[in-house]
Structures are given as C-alpha cells and as structure tokens.
Amino acid sequence: MQYRTLGRTGVQVSTLALGAMNFGAIGRTTQQEATALVDGALEAGINLIDTADWYSQGESEEMVGRAIAGRRDDLVLATKANNPMGDDRNRQGSSRRWLVAELEHSLRRLGVDHVDLYQIHRWDPRTSDEETLSALTDLQRAGKIRYFGSSTFPAYRLVQAQWAAREHHLSRYVTEQPGYSILQRGIETHVLPVTEEYGLGVLVWSPLASGWLSGAVRAGREVTTHRSAILPDRFDPAVPSNRAKLDAVELLAKIAEDAGLTLIQLALGFVTAHPGVTSAIIGPRTLGHLDSQLAAADTVLPADVLDAIDSVVAPGVDLAAHEKFDTPPALLDPALRRR
C-alpha cells in the first residue's frame, strides 16, 4: 500500500480508501460482511474509512462503528452530512442548526467521540458559506472533528469557500471528494486545478464508474451488477451515453490486457496517477470485490499506458455529464436562468 499526505494536514492516508456506502440496506451487506471488509482493508494497509449519515439512513455508520470498535485510533475516520435524513425539511442541508445536531447523531452511531474528517456531502445553495464554515470551525474547536472538507462541490464554490474562510477568519475546507474515473474526467478541467492551487486533499469516489470499469460490464454480456439493478437507465445500451461508455470499456480492456493488468487495476491506477489525487475510495460489497481492488494498491501506470487511455477518453471529458452531481443549479432549473 502507498501513502500520501492529505492535503496540507500532515496526516498520512492510504492511496486506496474503504468506502462504506454499501454497508447496510443499499448494498444488502450484513454486519458480519461489513466487519470482514473492514478487517481485510485494515490488514492490507488501508487506514482511511469513509462513510456518511445518509448511507442507508445511518445504518452504514452504525456498522462501521461496530467494525472499528477497539481500534479507533488506528485509522482515519471520515463521514459526511447534508443529504436528507427524514421528512422534516430541516433535517438536511448545511445550516448550523442541522450540522451541530447531526454530528452528534453520527458520533453516536459510530460509537466515537470525534471524527477525523467531517465533509459537507453536497453544496447547499440555501446556506451561506459563512454560516457553514462558522459551525464547522466551532465543532473543530470543540474537538468533535479534527478537519472538515467538501464533497462534489463545483470548482467555483470551492474558490468561494476558501475566500469566505479567509474573509471571516474561519477554518477552511482541507479536502474535496469529487467523482472521478476514466469515463468521467470532467474534474480535470476545473476542480483539480483549484484543489491543487489551494492545497486540498482529494478523495475521489466512483473510480470504477459505478461498476463500468470492474470488468463485469462488457459487450455482448447481460449486465447483472448490483448497481445496474438499482439504476437500470445508466446501463441501458440504447442510451447514447451508455453506448459511448461501453465502446470505451472495450478499448480500455484491450489496453489493460496488453499491459498485463486487470481492468480494475487500470482504472484505479489511472485515478491515483494524477498528482492532485490523494486517495481513491473503493466500495466493495464482498471480500472478492475487495481482493480484486486491493490488487491495484501498488499499481503504477507507465506513460505509454496513460497516453493510450487519453486516446480513448480525452482529458477533461465526461462521457455521461448528466450523471454528475456538481452541475450548477441554473442549468437544472429553468427559473434560475430566466428573467
């Protein structure tokens, strides 16, 4: 396992991180299976576990808490808040009221007295940066979080938040968690240049593109992955963007084969090759998935392989831009772009 410094924090984290989104109802994972995944990850040298309150409505945090009991100090623990946690309109977002309350809920579910990294799961356009950063700074000073970061923020919001922290003399985001894979390279255009400029650690999610780069999705085969059952439209070959992804996967599989690598090794080696990326978050549902992804822990792609990947999906290009979660609100709501 390789290790890198998380932004400018001085904290060393593994280049592969264990994501716990599949723990619980979302991934149909039992506590025994979740604990086995945590055991396997830690034994392999992974020292960063990432979860969120929203994953299976708190069940993921509870499972992580049970799995790490007795070894809390041996790992970097990250969680997130912002997405809805019930029907009440105020049980979501980035207000001081909600973040202070929800962190207490997360700490209880995790069975810990602090988290190392507390992340805002999505940018909340209803809440000012000053409000959010002020609350996070107070939680940090209270010792309940060590650092805080953002997740899937548009580049301009990252810049704005850095400015707001300086303007109001508050602590700042030290990490960003964007989606990034060979098939979704849009963050190379704006987000990664910004994170490098401000020295943010970058923890990328979905490096296997929701399973498209796992080797399980190939031309002429029926797609039977867990994710395809949940989001069938994202795997329907009749959809043009899915057809483009499938064509790319076939070319990438040949590149991997010629390089003596699995498609998973190619995919994970690609995202960790970028100098702006700290860690790639993997989200295995089974020990078999974990083992296949751990095989990429020491993968370093040579320049010719990286060049070959660029010839399939050009730098900065998203093959399915509509699947991203960092689109400015005005592009989604016509009322925001019309007088």
User: Could you give the residue numbers annotated as active site?
Assistant: 55
d(Cα 289, Cα 214) in Å, to the nearest integer?
9
Cα separation, 59 vs 310, whole angstroms: 39
- Pair 19, 205: CB distance under 8 Å: yes
Radius of gyration of the CA atoms of the chain, in A: 19
Distances (CA, A) of 311 to 126, 187, 236, 305, 314: 41, 18, 25, 10, 6
Task: Determine the angle formed by the axes of helices 263-273 and 303-312, rounding to 10 degrees.
Answer: 100
Q: How far apart are the first and last CA of the chain?
A: 54
**H or E element that contains 109:** helix 96-110
Residue 183 three-state SS: coil
Structure-block tokens of residue 133:
């950063």
Q: Supply the angle between the helices 263-273 and 240-258 in degrees, to the nearest 10.
A: 100
